[in-house]
């Protein structure tokens, strides 16, 4: 009897592991092994001058911390997150509140807000490159039209990040709107009915009912938006190449440059490790901050 049970349990185990095997192979090959390799390689000097990796302890980390460009890139990325995340979230909430209530042209409104999401970033970058170009570009035409001087959006160190922020907000706000729309639809109508019976004003209803109940959505969107602000770099390849003078470079683009332009593998690994730590920190916020506040119903 016991043997039969053990046999049955062995069979279930073998069967489950076989079902998981295909996924596990790819996960190990392209997530776990690369992460471990990254951590190991970050302690080696491995560049064009040292084809055989040479152990150098924490030298890469020291070099990274002394690298002005690294700090510039990190500052850029934080600044980029600080502007894109709240701006696109506020816009997304407004869009959702409106798209949820509007009677005429609902489909049009939603489509107009959402469509940038399905465009490749690289195509969006091409279009926006033309919008930002001095002299011929759309923005220049508009500025001229209202009698202002044109600006060199992508060539000016002080403007280039603003240009990137505006484009990314345009690309992402509609995507986050979708989550808010879903969140709004989950709020029970009865709450609104009783609020209107009490004679509550729209702003009070929003502050007391809608917004608090959208809190889980807001946290969720915030996590995605923050993670995205570290992952979105395609447009830099087309629009600025991180310039002028690294003014628009972001962490992932800096990794790309170190790995595939400078071929400094040790430093690329070190920077990738920093990126992994940042993403894990965001995930930790999600785990500890969000799980407790979300109530599944």
Partner 1 sequence: MLRRITDLAMYVLALLWLFPLLWAMWTAFRPREKAITWDLSLEFTFDNFIHVWNSAPFAQYYLNTFLIVAGVLVVQFVTATLAAYAFAKLRFWGRDVLFILVLVQLMVPPDILIFPNYNVLRDLSLIDTKLGIMMPYFASAFGIFLLRQVFKTIPYELQEAARMEGCRWWQVLWKLYIPLARPTYVAFGLVSVSYHWNNFLWPLIITNSVENRPLTVGLAIFAQSFETGAQWAEVTAATVMVILPLLLAFLLFQRQFLNSFIHSGMK
Q: Is the peptide bond before 244 cis (omega within 30 degrees of 0)?
A: yes
Q: Are 114 and 178 in contact (CB under 8 A)?
A: yes
Determine if 20 is a binding residue for partner 1 (CB under 8 A): yes
Can you read off the two tokens belonging to residue 248? 């628009």
Scanning 12-20, 55-63, 78-86, 191-199 for contacts with partner 1 by CB under 8 A, the matching segment is 12-20
Using left for φ > 0, alpha for ψ between -120 and 50, and beta otherwise, residue 150 falls in: beta
Specify the residue, 107 or 158, whose C-beta has the smaller distance to partner 1: 107
Determine if 262 is a binding residue for partner 1 (CB under 8 A): no
Considering only residues 52-111, where is the footprint of partner 1 by CB under 8 A?
A: 91, 94-95, 98, 102, 105, 107-111
Determine if 37 is a binding residue for partner 1 (CB under 8 A): yes
Determine if 211 is a binding residue for partner 1 (CB under 8 A): no
Specify the residue, 54 or 127, whose C-beta has the smaller distance to partner 1: 127
Rounded CA gap, 179 and 175, in Å?
Answer: 7
Specify the residue, 247 or 252, whose C-beta has the smaller distance to partner 1: 252
> What's phi and psi for 45, nearest 5 deg?
-90, 120
Scanning 9-17, 53-61, 65-73, 190-198 for contacts with partner 1 by CB under 8 A, the matching segment is 9-17
From the CB of 179, what's the least distance to partner 1, in Å? 5
Considering only residues 149-188, where is the footprint of partner 1 by CB under 8 A?
A: 170, 174-175, 178-179, 181-182
Helices 265-285 and 251-260: angle between axes, nearest 10 degrees: 160
From the CB of 49, what's the least distance to partner 1, in Å? 18
- The most distant pair of C-alpha atoms in the chain lies apart, rounded to whole Å, by 91
Q: Are 171 and 116 in contact (CB under 8 A)?
A: yes
């Amino acid at each position: 009897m016991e043997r039969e049970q053990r046999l049955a349990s062995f069979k279930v185990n073998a069967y489950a592991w076989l079902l998981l095997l295909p996924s596990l192979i790819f996960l190990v090959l392209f997530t776990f092994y690369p992460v471990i390799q990254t951590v190991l390689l970050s302690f080696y000097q491995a560049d064009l001058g040292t084809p055989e990796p040479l152990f150098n302890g924490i030298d890469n980390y020291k070099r990274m911390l002394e690298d002005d460009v690294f700090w510039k890139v990190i500052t850029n990325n934080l600044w980029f997150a600080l502007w894109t995340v709240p701006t696109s979230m506020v816009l997304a909430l407004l869009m959702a509140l409106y798209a949820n209530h509007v009677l005429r042209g609902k489909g049009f409104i939603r489509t107009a807000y959402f469509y940038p999401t399905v465009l490749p970033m690289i195509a969006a970058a091409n279009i926006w490159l033309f919008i930002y170009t001095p002299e011929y570009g759309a923005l220049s035409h508009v500025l001229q039209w209202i009698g202002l001087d044109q600006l060199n959006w992508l060539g000016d160190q002080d403007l280039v990040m603003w240009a990137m922020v505006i484009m990314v907000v345009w690309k992402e706000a509609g995507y986050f709107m979708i989550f808010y729309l879903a969140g709004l639809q989950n709020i029970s109508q009865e709450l609104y009915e009783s609020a209107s019976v009490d004679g509550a004003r729209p702003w009070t209803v929003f502050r007391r009912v809608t917004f608090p109940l959208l809190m889980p959505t807001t946290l969720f969107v915030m996590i995605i938006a923050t993670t995205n602000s570290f992952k979105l770099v395609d447009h830099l390849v087309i629009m600025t190449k991180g310039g002028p003078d690294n003014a628009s470079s972001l962490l992932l683009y800096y990794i790309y440059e170190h790995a595939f332009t400078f071929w400094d593998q040790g430093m690329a690994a070190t920077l990738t490790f920093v990126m992994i730590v940042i993403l894990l920190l965001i995930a930790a916020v999600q785990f500890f901050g969000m799980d407790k506040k979300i109530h599944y119903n």
